[in-house]
Structure 1
Amino acid sequence: MHTVHGQLQGLKPSQLKQLQRLYHQRLPGDCLTTPEFAQRLAAISTDLAKPVCAYINRRGQVIRVGVGTPRQTQIPPLELPRYGASRLSGIRCVATQLKNNPPGTSALTAMAIQRLDALAALTLTGSGFRRRGGGDVGYVKQAYLANLVPNTHEASWTVSPPLSLDALARRDFLAMVEELEAEFQREFVAQQVEGDRDRVLIVGMRTAELDAQQFEDRLAEVGRLVDTAGGIVLQTLQQSRSRPHPQTVVGSGKVDEIALTVQTVGANLVVFDRDLSPAQVRNLEKRIGVRVVDRTEVILDIFAQRAQSGAGKLQVELAQLEYNLPRLTGRGQAMSRLGGGIGTRGPGETQLETERRAIQRRISRLQQEVDRLQAHRSRLRQQRQHREVHSVAFVGYTNAGKSTLLNVLANAEIYTADQLFATLDPTTRRIAVTDENTSEVRQFVLTDTVGFIHELPPALIDAFRATLEEVTEADALLHVVDLSHPAWQSQIRSVMGILSDMPVTPGPILLVFNKIDAVDGETLDFAAEEYPQAAFVSATEGFGLTTLRQRLLQLIDYAVVGTD
């Protein structure tokens, strides 16, 4: 029994059978429709006093029949054939409409979301019309033909002037589609990027607690995260709401806009700027038709790429499993995450398709390993304390320049890059500094820690507790700030918020403003006035490093005196 979709309330069994019989129709491949099929569709629509849509593939088979507008009867994205940005879906829609107007924006948007080969809109001679004696006129008054046109920036389509049914049926449909797809291919090749990189659409949702600047900074940071993870940001969409929609975060109209933009720009991944519940991901993927991930999942993916040591990989796997465990139920197609791309990498990826109990056992084993890692780091710290070697831990927002600063202070060779979370594994280096007051050479250790970020995912905080203990156990902290970043004040607040939430209160903190070579004088003066005790350096240019070394000695002395 073939399924009839859409607005079926109040239909008689005989009317449903008429609709189901449409599935048995077979149209010539080179015709968009035949006069006979169009008149039959229009007759049913007139009888129902409702619009009717028939979806037909290129073999001329009717694959979907629905009662309602193209928007109300459209094929869910996940049920559409897989096609690239250079192709159409291979499906056309012949739709009736009760008003004698060209197809509206809603119908054209539905066409674009589904990337239909064409939309033929048939207007009727009048509701309640019955066939006249000779049967010459039929039920179709006139028709409009709509199709997509290539445009990588916005949804674009063209709608014909009113056509007679015979003129519509005489159109060489296959030639029209081949010409269109050749244009899409040329446009796609001109815009094509590396095939192994995700093409990302970012979606931001602003609520009342965020002002305009904070929201823009947040979206910019998500863009940096996507870039660091290896994706390419094609476009960003925004919406303001008093609170997130419980099912889809953004409103229904915005979901349609996202789906339309995905098809228009050729995105294969949608990234939201906030955490999503499993139900929200499931609902969004069903309506949009591509993978949907949240900010935390992008961060976890970056960590999976950056972890080099066994300890780092262990902690990343634990974080991934703890994050994904409550999200296993109902993931559907999204549970198969071995295809590559953002949100799919890492040592924990294959665990997502195992039973929940097996994952829980794996988490328990990993937590035991992390406990052993904590014990090992604790013994190393005790050895340093026994030798009276003091330690300073570098903290700060990701990409503030902590690793670069450690490299120049301790002649280390830590990997650095202008990326978020460029280094993940903690690194400890010994440094010798001559005290200018006593000429004594004093030694202590510097430890580079994982970078912080606004709303650091709880799964990471828990999994990286062995690493973060380097912060709480250090004698003092060096809080490195990228003064050239537009949101440097917000980043300071984020880092201090994370430090204040730690179970053990860290030692004294020296604020160090980095990258002063890329800052104007007004910003420097403002930062110096707001934070008179801070140090100002440029790790890449070598500015202020001599003064910083002496400030480090003073910081350690202050920390040691404070603990005596």
Structure 2
Amino acid sequence: MIYGNIDGLKKSTLDQLEDLRGYRMEEGSYLDQETAAYLMEISLHINREVIIVTDKRNEILEVGVGDFRSASFPEVDYDKISGVKSFHTHPNGNPHLSDQDTSAMENLGFDLIGAIAQTEKGLLVGVGVLDAQDDGLLVRELGALNLRQLNRLDLDEFVQRTGKHKRHALTEVADEQERAILIGVHVKGKKDVMDVESSMVELAELAKTAGVVPVDVITQNKDRFDTAFYIGKGKLMEIRELIQIRDANIVLCNDELTAVQLRNMEMVLGVKIIDRTALILDIFASHARSGEGKLQVELAQLKYRLPRLMGMGKVLSRTGGGIGTRGPGEKKLETDRRAIYRQVHLLEKRLKDMESARKIQKSRRVKNEVPVVSLVGYTNAGKSTLFNRMSTSSVLAEDKLFATLDSTTRKIIVDDKEFLLSDTVGFIEKLPHDLVESFKSTLEEVKDADLILHVIDSANPNYLQQIRVVEEVLDSIGCTGKEMILVFNKIDKLEGKVVPDYEMVRGEKVMVSAKDGDKVDELMDLILGKIFGDLLEMTIKVPYTDTKYASYLHSLGVVKEETFEEDGVVLSVQISEKNKYLLEQGKSNG
């Protein structure tokens, strides 16, 4: 097998390259004249770089092909090869090593790397060797040498100096975190809530939350997404070079990719490709704690994976014979797809059972007239910190995206008034559709809430765009027109910064610091006024012949005092103006 870009190459050329594997060069030669000329001839003919990897015996172990300006190194366990060296051609005639070459040498641990070029002075080889300095490794470039000068080099001198550092350095590289190149496309005329720069900053934060180190960011303006490669083919070649230069092992894309785009990009770049949707799902999977949260994330992941299985599609979800089903039987792809359909159906059923249990709990709350207040907002706006401050709870609150996913509800009692405070999952731009669908049952709590607290990170320069994202998600779950308070959080971070223009945002607003507790009492007073309004104090006498009505009032939780007299029970009740009709309803139902 020839590694790299072999598209369009004739079989005869591939056979020529294949013939190189296993060839041992002349004794005492790192690279002999015959092999160098042969590589250069093929390279100039196909106008692509050709690469070979050799061992201590100067035997050619692997062969690869790149494009005009770069070549990817074959996938070999270089750490297990003694005296590993690599040579590749530069069809542009420049024998000097590129940044990509030196970076690959540092990361892969070659004893020597050479760039072969046909110049006016004949064949020259730009040579780099691995050397030790200050208890570390570096690439020492020896310049452009002819073959005689190259083969006279004493590599043992360098190998002895680097030996004690080399294994430690390579182990460090192997144990490093995933290092990612972040790429994004700004489609001209497409109206995104956030500009591409802000969206890429957010992608970097998502990467860090997932434990990935962002090492570089690439963006491109295009009229539309490339259907085959997401980003332009030329830009993709730049990214391939950047992967080696920056020692990256993963590429994160700022949009959801199709199965074709994922496959094509992995083939060209040779590293793992993760789109924004898969990244968010991965974060959700690692942060979900409750049983329901884990099921919701698993369902979203399966729905995401299903259309990315290359195959026949949804027809396989139906059993039976007919055209397209006869022959050798199901392949692994079809059985995988069928298994995913079964698992999706099972998860949807389990979540529906949980939803039924939640509806029973909801009916009890309605019967007991316990108001519900839901916290919503962009991820990392400080919802969990505010929730902890208001409820004296200890829900996980960290300065990272999606630190908490599982919906949490606590009873709040203030001045004999009680309500339920619910913390929900944070929203984000381009929130995966399947994730919204999976969490819809949880988000129903927001839809049924008596009051919504929209928590906003006032210290974030993109707070207006974040507000729009949250409003769009709320609209999608049917929360349009709900009574809402806009809670501008993190005012403690505004010192020395430009204070946001709150007047641009319509609605009732309050500024707080959930971290310091500043103005949280003011927010609490506002909440109580909204959900309870003016409370009515009433005294009702219920005859002993009508004790069902007394029991009904007790079930509403509005009875504050009860006195028994000869002809009946005297009840002191406290109820909000807007729920006064419940008293009349109880009377009419007898």
- TM-score grouping bracket, smaller chain normalisation: 0.7 to 0.9
Deviation at 1:423, TM superposition (A): 1.1
Deviation at 1:119, TM superposition (A): 2.6
Q: Deviations over 1:169-200 (max 9, x none)?
A: 323456667767888778778xx699373223
Distance change >3 Å, CA 363–CA 196, structure 1 → 2:
farther
Identical pairs, percent? 32
| 1:231 and 2:226 correspond | no
Deviation at 1:314, TM superposition (A): 1.1
8 Å CA contact 1:4–1:19 kept in 2: the answer is no
8 Å CA contact 2:193–2:429 kept in 1: the answer is no
Deviation at 1:317, TM superposition (A): 1.0
Distance change >3 Å, CA 535–CA 17, structure 1 → 2:
closer
1:95 to 89, 97, 102: 89
> Where does residue 170 of structure 1 map in the other structure?
152
Distance change >3 Å, CA 540–CA 163, structure 1 → 2:
closer
Distance change >3 Å, CA 401–CA 52, structure 1 → 2:
closer
Letter in 2 for 1:164: N
Q: Distance in 2 between matches of 1:3 and 1:193?
A: 23
Distance change >3 Å, CA 353–CA 563, structure 1 → 2:
farther
Q: Which moved more, 1:23-32 or 1:268-277?
A: 23-32
| 1:527 and 2:507 correspond | no
Q: Distance in 2 between matches of 1:557 and 1:89?
A: 79
Q: Distance in 1 between matches of 2:395 and 2:53?
A: 59
Q: Distance in 2 between matches of 1:409 and 1:380?
A: 23
Distance change >3 Å, CA 39–CA 428, structure 1 → 2:
closer
Q: Distance in 1 between matches of 2:23 and 2:284?
A: 54
Letter in 2 for 1:279: V
2:529 to 524, 539, 554: 554
> Where does residue 67 of structure 2 map in the other structure?
71
Deviation at 1:110, TM superposition (A): 11
Letter in 1 for 2:29: C
> Where does residue 58 of structure 2 map in the other structure?
60
Secondary structure at the aligned position of 2:116 is classed as strand
8 Å CA contact 2:107–2:173 kept in 1: the answer is no
Q: Which moved more, 1:261-270 or 1:290-299?
A: 261-270
> Where does residue 310 of structure 1 map in the other structure?
291
Letter in 2 for 1:168: L
8 Å CA contact 1:397–1:481 kept in 2: the answer is yes
Deviation at 1:468, TM superposition (A): 0.7
Q: Distance in 1 between matches of 2:409 and 2:474?
A: 20
Aligned residues: 510
Deviation at 1:64, TM superposition (A): 5.4
Q: Deviations over 1:245-302 (max 9, x none)?
A: 2222222232233222222332222211111112212122222222110111111111
Distance change >3 Å, CA 262–CA 461, structure 1 → 2:
same
8 Å CA contact 1:33–1:94 kept in 2: the answer is no
> Where does residue 38 of structure 1 map in the other structure?
36
> Where does residue 343 of structure 2 map in the other structure?
362
| 1:205 and 2:205 correspond | no
Q: Distance in 1 between matches of 2:173 and 2:144?
A: 40
After superposition, residues 56-455 of structure 1 pair within 5 angstroms as 56-58=53-55, 59-63=57-61, 71-72=67-68, 79-82=74-77, 90=84, 92-95=86-89, 97=91, 101-102=94-95, 117-123=112-118, 141-147=122-128, 161-172=143-154, 195=175, 197-208=177-188, 209=190, 214-329=195-310, 355-434=336-415, 441-455=416-430
> Where does residue 333 of structure 1 map in the other structure?
none
Letter in 1 for 2:183: V
Q: Which moved more, 1:34-43 or 1:449-458?
A: 34-43
Distance change >3 Å, CA 290–CA 352, structure 1 → 2:
farther
- Compute the RMSD of aligned alpha carbons: 4.3
Q: Distance in 2 between matches of 1:44 and 1:227?
A: 44
Distance change >3 Å, CA 473–CA 88, structure 1 → 2:
farther
Q: Distance in 2 between matches of 1:188 and 1:392?
A: 54
Q: Distance in 1 between matches of 2:5 and 2:457?
A: 56
> Where does residue 135 of structure 1 map in the other structure?
none
Q: Deviations over 1:37-87 (max 9, x none)?
A: 3355567889x6978846242143335567xx853597656x521568x99
Q: Distance in 2 between matches of 1:563 and 1:459?
A: 41
Q: Distance in 1 between matches of 2:46 and 2:374?
A: 74
Letter in 1 for 2:361: L
Q: Deviations over 1:382-412 (max 9, x none)?
A: 1100011111111101111111111111222
Q: Distance in 2 between matches of 1:183 and 1:453?
A: 45
8 Å CA contact 1:207–1:243 kept in 2: the answer is yes
Letter in 1 for 2:95: P
Q: Distance in 1 between matches of 2:452 and 2:4?
A: 66
8 Å CA contact 2:243–2:249 kept in 1: the answer is yes
Q: Distance in 1 between matches of 2:300 and 2:213?
A: 25
Secondary structure at the aligned position of 1:71 is classed as coil
Q: Distance in 1 between matches of 2:419 and 2:2?
A: 77
Letter in 1 for 2:230: V
Letter in 1 for 2:439: F
Distance change >3 Å, CA 194–CA 387, structure 1 → 2:
farther
8 Å CA contact 2:375–2:421 kept in 1: the answer is yes
Deviation at 1:370, TM superposition (A): 1.1
Q: Distance in 2 between matches of 1:482 and 1:415?
A: 18
Secondary structure at the aligned position of 1:395 is classed as strand
8 Å CA contact 1:200–1:234 kept in 2: the answer is yes
Q: Which moved more, 1:260-269 or 1:509-518?
A: 260-269
> Where does residue 465 of structure 1 map in the other structure?
440
Q: Distance in 1 between matches of 2:129 and 2:191?
A: 38
8 Å CA contact 1:398–1:420 kept in 2: the answer is yes
Letter in 1 for 2:476: D
Q: Deviations over 1:114-138 (max 9, x none)?
A: 967523414278xxxxxxxxxxxxx
After superposition, residues 496-511 of structure 1 pair within 5 angstroms as 496-503=471-478, 505=480, 507-511=482-486
8 Å CA contact 2:181–2:251 kept in 1: the answer is yes
Letter in 2 for 1:118: I
Larger strand proportion, structure 1 or 2?
2
Q: Distance in 2 between matches of 1:280 and 1:254?
A: 15
Q: TM-score, normalised on structure 2?
A: 0.74
Secondary structure at the aligned position of 2:501 is classed as helix
8 Å CA contact 2:49–2:67 kept in 1: the answer is no
Unaligned runs of 5+ in 1: 126-139, 151-155, 331-350, 435-440
Q: Distance in 2 between matches of 1:181 and 1:253?
A: 39
Q: Distance in 2 between matches of 1:37 and 1:253?
A: 31
8 Å CA contact 2:87–2:115 kept in 1: the answer is yes
Distance change >3 Å, CA 23–CA 447, structure 1 → 2:
closer
Letter in 2 for 1:314: L
8 Å CA contact 1:394–1:402 kept in 2: the answer is yes
Distance change >3 Å, CA 491–CA 159, structure 1 → 2:
same
Decide which structure has the larger Cα Rg and report it.
2
Q: TM-score, normalised on structure 1?
A: 0.77
Q: Distance in 2 between matches of 1:40 and 1:525?
A: 67
Q: Distance in 2 between matches of 1:218 and 1:531?
A: 25
Deviation at 1:542, TM superposition (A): 1.3
